[in-house]
Amino acid sequence: MSTLNAYVGDHHALLAVDTFVQKNGGVLVHGPKLFPIPHAKVVVGVRGDLIFGMQVSNHLHLGPVADFDDAVTTMPAILDRVTADYFQQRKEHGDVPWAGVEIALVGWSKRAGRMQGIRWESWPGDKLFKTTPIEPWSLSPNADWREIPKAPDSAEKMEALARDQVKFIRTHLPGAVIGGHLLLAEITREAMTIKCIADLEANP
């Protein structure tokens, strides 16, 4: 299930994820779901199939990506290539059911002269990736968070939101893989930081 929440202001953006992933056998461990691309001043967030998201991140690292605008331009070709390679690998290993994936890119856009963010997502039954701009925030899962009174534009608001999401999902979907620690990436035109800001398994 996982959480993937983003806020994009003109000169400041936040991208937050939880860390629980499930290994073979059902064991919960902490895993990476944020992937910085420092030279391009872009951060990638992943929800869903982590291996797919990591492969997309690897292509962004290795490709001719100088900034956010380059990353966005190359994403369709990267998604096509990773999809073809990934599903071929899955067939070779028994055609494991596809869980779907959501990928968010956040960074400084020279073209727009401000911070920007875009989401790509594909879930079981989808034939293509859906592309959605983050304007000005995006919340996943978003069952009860489609409309919130104030933008999650601080670490404190991101933590409160994530705790609500974890509580909601565990109540309505027992056994869902969600929670762990909360990682927060803060991105500006000149810098990015990634911090663990909360233990979602502990009471605040």
The domain ranges of the chain are 4-199
Span 85-133, pLDDT tens digits: 988 887 777 767 788 999 999 999 999 999 999 999 999 989 899 999 9
Name the percent of the chain lying above pLDDT 70.
96
* Region class of 111: left (phi > 0), else alpha (psi between -120 and 50), else beta: alpha
Please tell me the predicted confidence (pLDDT) of residue 41. 93
Please tell me the predicted confidence (pLDDT) of residue 154. 96
CATH of 4-199, one of 2.40.30.10, 3.60.20.10, 1.20.1250.20, 1.10.30.50: 3.60.20.10
Please tell me the predicted confidence (pLDDT) of residue 143. 62
Q: Return the minimum-mean-pLDDT range out of 4-8, 49-53, 84-88.
A: 84-88
> How far apart (Å, rounded) are the C-alpha atoms in residues 185 and 52?
20
Query: How would you class 101 by CB atoms within 10 Å of its CB: exposed for 0-12, middle for 13-18, buried for 19 or more?
Result: buried
Q: How far is CA 62 from CA 49, 57, 106, 137, in A?
A: 21, 9, 18, 28
Q: How far is CA 16 from CA 161, 179, 203, in A?
A: 10, 12, 19
Is-cis flag, bond preceding 36, omega within 30? no
Please tell me the predicted confidence (pLDDT) of residue 90. 77
Please tell me the predicted confidence (pLDDT) of residue 4. 97
Please tell me the predicted confidence (pLDDT) of residue 202. 93
Please tell me the predicted confidence (pLDDT) of residue 89. 81
> How far apart (Å, rounded) are the C-alpha atoms in residues 21 and 49?
10
Q: What does the CA dihedral 70, 71, 72, 78 come to, rounded to 10 degrees? A: 120
Highest mean pLDDT among 23-37, 56-70, 90-104: 56-70
Please tell me the predicted confidence (pLDDT) of residue 118. 98
3-class DSSP state for residue 42? strand
pTM: 0.93
Span 147-182, pLDDT tens digits: 565 789 999 999 999 999 999 999 999 999 999 999
